[in-house]
Amino acid sequence: MNDVADWWQTAIIDMEPGRIELRGTPIQDLIGNLSFAEMIWLMVRGDRPSDAQARLFEAALVSAVDHGPQAPSIAAARMAVTCGLPLNNAMATAVNMLGDIHGGAGEQAVELYHQVKASPLGTEAALDIWTSERGKIIPGFGHRFHSPTDPRAPRLMEMVSEAVANGACEGAFATVGREIEETLARRKGRPIPMNIDGATAVIYAELGFEPPLARGLFCLSRSVGILAHAWEQQQQGGRNKGPTPPKYRWTYTGP
């Protein structure tokens, strides 16, 4: 049977009738003893966070749950509900829209922080290399809606400072983030403050999460808002709602 039993291999779960162990701990010992955020950490990482790490991790998850029905993924979830889809399909529709442009900035910011931190040339030169390879947009800084300041970022960075004081992380990536912020302000001649993606990227980098996990964790976080909006739309009703009210028309450019 080894050719069957070894078809899938996992260190995450061991299970047989009457027994479920996650990362080596019986499920009944986890229920009521771990928060949901701690459970996410355990499942993804295989170990348990300290209390200070868990507090910072949960703060990042809480901060990104929603950004309103104008966000494409949230709008898609609400439109999906008006097309008759149940909540799980509406949520899947929304999560599938979280790509490189809408939903990927956190992952990209973690990549940027690692690149700047590892560069022997300093922040200025590292940013030049980044833009030459990836384009002019610096992920995690500036916001098209929240100007001059994304209200979520200062609070998260305040919590990073608290976490450093409590020994939850070292603060190296927080320093990188602040250096990038200062460099952009100097180059542009005006503040380009860190946004939610930049701040959560600092947290995920400080806590040792790899860049792709930053996007996965964002999807988990934003799924809370997606579910809330899909459920609200289900209660409100409506049929076949598109992105704009029916009286508005698109711009036709054909023959």
Going along the chain from its start, the domains and CATH numbers come out as 11-48 (no CATH), 105-212 (1.10.230.10)
Q: Contact 230/78 with Cβ under 8 angstroms?
A: yes
**How far is it, in rounded angstroms, from Cα 99 to Cα 106?**
11
Global confidence as pTM: 0.94
Q: What pLDDT is stored for residue 1 in this prediction?
A: 66
Torsion angle defined by CA atoms of residues 242, 245, 246 and 248, in that order, rounded to the nearest 10 degrees: -110
Q: Which residues pair with 20 in a beta bridge?
A: 15
Q: Which residue has the tokens 């003893």?
A: 33
Give the dihedral sign, CA 251/253/254/255: positive
**How far is it, in rounded angstroms, from Cα 195 to Cα 127?**
17
Tens of pLDDT, residue by residue, the chain (255 residues): 678 888 899 999 999 999 999 999 999 999 999 999 999 999 999 999 999 999 999 999 999 999 999 999 999 999 999 999 999 999 999 999 999 999 999 999 999 999 999 999 999 999 999 999 999 999 999 877 777 888 999 999 999 999 999 999 999 999 999 999 999 999 999 999 999 999 999 999 999 999 999 999 999 999 999 999 999 999 999 999 999 999 999 999 999
Q: Contact 184/52 with Cβ under 8 angstroms?
A: no
